[in-house]
Structure 1
Amino acid sequence: MEGFQMQPGFGQVQGPPPTTALDYLSTLDEIRINQKIDVAEVVTGIDMRNRYSVENAAGQQVLFCSEESGICQRMCCKEHRGFIVHVADVTGLEVLTLTREFKCCIFPCCADPTGRYALQVTAQGIKIGTIRQAQQCCPFPPKLTVESSTGQELFHMEGPTCVCHGPCCYADVPFNVYSSGGLNPVATISRTHAGFVQECLTKANNFRVVFLQGVDKSSKVLLFAATFLIDMMFFEHDK
């Protein structure tokens, strides 16, 4: 993979002190994740490394994220590529690392469980949990699970049967989050419409994470991280 570098000026954001970045994130009932528009990508059509701003409901940026990946995988494997997302606080200090290894999925996921996508979430080298594509023969509706650091299932997520997005699809695309064994959603991760021009000309995606009830600090961090796997699996391809 190419070496990871912070973008000049990208860390000049408003937010909490760096030592409390994740604590502050856990106090929010709504998180907005907006992918930055890359002019070079728009002009050339070549997939560049994704960058995101993380904001609270008032629009104040509290974290920023940058993808580390190889250009060959971005060009040839597209949304199937392996990647690392570095999540940094206002000083540029990395507070979370999200890693998905590249897997060549030749067989259906029901026949080859090892081919399922999984995102490992770590904080300063300590594993927090894993977001994993659920094993299912039919890919729709899409399902994912959220596991603790020990592999215990904490939540499961289910998206809509039709994951439609684009300039003419104005409705949000929600992924409802349920506690293990629960029937009522405890959170929702939604891909939101970014406006006609952005939807037409770019592949940049915007998301909103809303916590409804009973979600603790570490779980909020994992559900925040799950947004990046959802983005790569279902919305990174060309519109």
Structure 2
Amino acid sequence: MSVDKQPQGMGMQLTESGLPASVQYLAGVDQLFIKQKIEMLEVLTGFETRNRYAVLNKEMQQVFFVQEESSLCERCFCPMNRGFNLHMTDNNTQEIVRMSRDFKCCMGCCWCGGGCCQMVINVESPVGRLIGRIKTGNSKWKPHIQICDAADNHMFTAWGPCCPCQAVCCPEDIDFPITDPGLTQRVGNVAKVWRGCCPESFTDADQFRVTFPMDMTVECKMLMVAATFLIEFYVFEQQKKNNNSG
């Protein structure tokens, strides 16, 4: 089921802020779920297919849909490093947000996450209008994510746990608290949701929950959603590859 409050008609409708009208739906929510679609070809063969995600509200109604565009060669041989475009569309199939990342030879390890191996996702809404960037940052061990605006000002920071793993013996959700750059005030959270023993064991379709203040600006909410995808590819894509190799 999908929400029915998105603008209808031909062409891209923009608000006074310059954002697509469909994105304005975020003004009235404080939580979203991002659920990766299960790809049967990948389950049966281990062949790395293009990821697809449904963005859902609290009632589990589809708000947006995200489709990955990437190179077959990079997905097969460099899955964690691959470049991609993530096309976010509304329920009228209009592209309202594009998240893009370039291919990097190195994966973006903790020590050099802010240097030559830094992973960066550019977030455009509508396509061609940059609203911010999501970057990996330096760290001795923990996953470190920085959320920046279009002028590259550091707005928020997300730190993950030292060992972001889930299993039957530790089925708790994995939290990535989002704070101000000084780490003094918590302003949101990204959590990888435990889906149950069988789904976690036999599929790699992750599910995330993103929370933020209701009164946060729509652009900031969208950047936190984009940060979830960098966490997915930067942290959990590596685990998927290791599990498949095992």
| TM-score for both structures, normalised by structure 2 | 0.86
2:166 aligned residue? 165
Residue ranges of structure 2 left out of the alignment (5+ in a row): 8-12, 14-20
1:129 paired with 2:132, answer: yes
Secondary structure, counterpart of 1:13 in structure 2: coil
1:154 aligned residue? 155
Per-residue deviation, 1:166: 4.0
Per-residue deviation, 1:169: 3.4
Residue ranges of structure 1 left out of the alignment (5+ in a row): 1-11
In 2, Cα distance between the equivalents of 1:107 and 1:132? 10
Structure 2 counterpart of 1:45, one-letter code: G
In 1, Cα distance between the equivalents of 2:208 and 2:162? 18
Distance 1:15 1:62, change over 3 A: farther
Q: Deviations over 1:27-54 (max 9, x none)?
A: 2110000000001111111010000000
Per-residue deviation, 1:212: 4.1
Secondary structure, counterpart of 1:78 in structure 2: coil
2:10 aligned residue? none
> Which residue of 17, 24, 27 corresponds with 2:6?
17
Structure 1 counterpart of 2:225, one-letter code: F
How many positions carry a matched residue from both structures? Answer: 226
Instruction: Please show how residues 50-129 of structure 1 align to structure 2 within 5 Å.
Output: 50-105=51-106, 109-110=111-112, 113-124=115-126, 125-129=128-132
In 2, Cα distance between the equivalents of 1:151 and 1:173? 28
Secondary structure, counterpart of 1:114 in structure 2: coil
Q: Percent identity?
A: 33
* Contact 2:99 2:122 (C-alpha < 8 Å) held by counterparts: yes
Q: Deviations over 1:85-106 (max 9, x none)?
A: 1000011000000001001128
2:176 aligned residue? 175
Structure 2 counterpart of 1:67, one-letter code: E
Per-residue deviation, 1:112: 7.6
In 2, Cα distance between the equivalents of 1:68 and 1:230? 18
* Contact 1:53 1:63 (C-alpha < 8 Å) held by counterparts: yes
1:193 paired with 2:194, answer: yes
* Contact 1:26 1:218 (C-alpha < 8 Å) held by counterparts: no
Please identify, of 46-55 and 212-221, the stretch whose mean Cα deviation from structure 2 is larger.
212-221
State the Cα RMSD in Å: 2.0
Structure 1 runs (4+) deviating above 4 angstroms are 106-109
In 1, Cα distance between the equivalents of 2:144 and 2:156? 11
In 2, Cα distance between the equivalents of 1:112 and 1:183? 21
In 2, Cα distance between the equivalents of 1:112 and 1:159? 16
* Contact 1:26 1:221 (C-alpha < 8 Å) held by counterparts: no
In 2, Cα distance between the equivalents of 1:231 and 1:166? 17
Secondary structure, counterpart of 1:81 in structure 2: coil
In 2, Cα distance between the equivalents of 1:112 and 1:217? 27
Secondary structure, counterpart of 1:113 in structure 2: coil
Per-residue deviation, 1:193: 0.8
Distance 1:168 1:45, change over 3 A: farther
| TM-score for both structures, normalised by structure 1 | 0.88
Distance 1:14 1:177, change over 3 A: same
